[in-house]
Amino acid sequence: MKQASFVLIFILGFFASAYSQFAVSYKNPKYNYSINLPKLMEVKQYPSDNDPDTVVASNSDGCEFIIAAGKDPVYKGVNGSQLVTGTFMPALKFAYKQIELLENDYTDLGGEPALYMKLAYNNGEEEGFISQLVLIRNEKLLILKIRAKKDLYDKFFSELTGYIYTFQFTESSAKEFYKNELYSFVMNFPSGWQFDRNTFPVQANSPKGSSLYIEAIKSSEYADMTAYDLEPEVMLEALNAKFSSISIVAKKKMNFDGNPVLYVKYKWVQSQTGKGDSFYIIHYYLIKKTVLFVLQGMVRETDSKDEENLIQQSVESFQFTK
């Protein structure tokens, strides 16, 4: 994947505030987002101003900045980091006839992971370029698209980039996005779970006392291994040194985004309290190159059903960015 334009977008995003004096604020109540749009561009909403699924801002040269949105239950539990370019190519080919994917990458927009695509098109009447960012939130798919003729694209792209990075959702987030640059992965923590974005290993804590902890262990011994090669019984011995009265209650092999994952669920009886409180410790192990990733959830047995589901949803959003 080529990253040149992606890096340019990211850098220019820091200068979004400089565009505010030339912008008008646009708010979409149907899909709960806001964005600054250039004052001098004509803005139209489709199918109507009262039902704005699509917003089109255009200039006198025919260049367009388009925001298209829709909601579909098929996107439940999905985020932008899980999207692939092939999903959107048929619609682009239908709209623009001849289409070629030039670049694609992943970034984030308004705190949400997003798929970036740049394409060349030829519809028989004109040739041009399209850049678009695709993101999903609460089953809502949004596409922010820049389209311009070949000779006008570079100028239009540089003018519009700052406006794109003023995009924000105006509703509260159902999940908290976490991105780790050192180990190149992203993940969503559940709503209301507190964590520090600037530390790693990172731990998110729920109001009920549950936690989700992520750590990475680098060692050359993992070079030729996958998580399926790990032995839960050996790991249980290591845990016994830390936790008394711990046992394996479930284990299975899984797969996240093409990566083998070993799931092991332990039950720990904390006898020190005198009450015999029981906890579940849920481990998801995966290996990439020479790094072992351990995603550990801990829940009290009395809260296990709901809290464990939240942990599972978060872990299933784990995605490598490289």
Element (H, E) at 158: helix 153-164
Measured distance between the N- and C-terminal CA atoms of the chain, rounded to whole angstroms = 10
Return the beta strands (E) in 123-165 as ranges.
127-137, 140-149
Q: CB burial class (10 A; 0-12, 13-18, 19+) of residue 210?
A: buried
Q: Are residues 146 and 125 in the same domain?
A: yes
Q: Are residues 110 and 35 in the same domain?
A: yes
Q: Are residues 219 and 244 in the same domain?
A: yes
Q: Are 321 and 106 in contact (CB under 8 A)?
A: yes
Q: Are residues 260 and 276 in the same domain?
A: yes
* Domain count within the chain: 2
Distance CA 229, CA 248 (A): 17
> Per residue of the chain (322 residues), what is the pLDDT tens digit?
333 333 333 333 333 333 444 578 888 888 888 888 888 899 999 999 989 999 999 999 999 999 999 988 888 878 888 899 999 999 999 999 999 999 999 988 877 889 999 999 999 999 999 999 999 987 899 999 999 999 999 999 988 887 888 787 776 444 578 889 899 888 888 888 888 887 899 988 888 888 899 999 999 999 999 999 998 888 888 777 666 688 899 999 998 877 899 999 998 886 544 455 788 889 999 999 999 999 999 888 887 778 898 999 889 888 888 7
Distance CA 239, CA 303 (A): 22
Kind of pairing between the strands at 140-149 and 42-48: unpaired
Distance CA 76, CA 140 (A): 9
Q: Are residues 199 and 309 in the same domain?
A: yes
CATH of the domain at 226: 3.40.1000.10
Distance CA 238, CA 117 (A): 45
Q: Are residues 17 and 150 in the same domain?
A: yes
Q: Are residues 104 and 194 in the same domain?
A: no
Q: Are 152 and 63 in contact (CB under 8 A)?
A: yes
Q: Are residues 259 and 130 in the same domain?
A: no
Residue 186 structural domain: 176-320
Q: What share of the chain is helix, strand, coil (3-state, %, to 5)?
A: 25, 50, 25
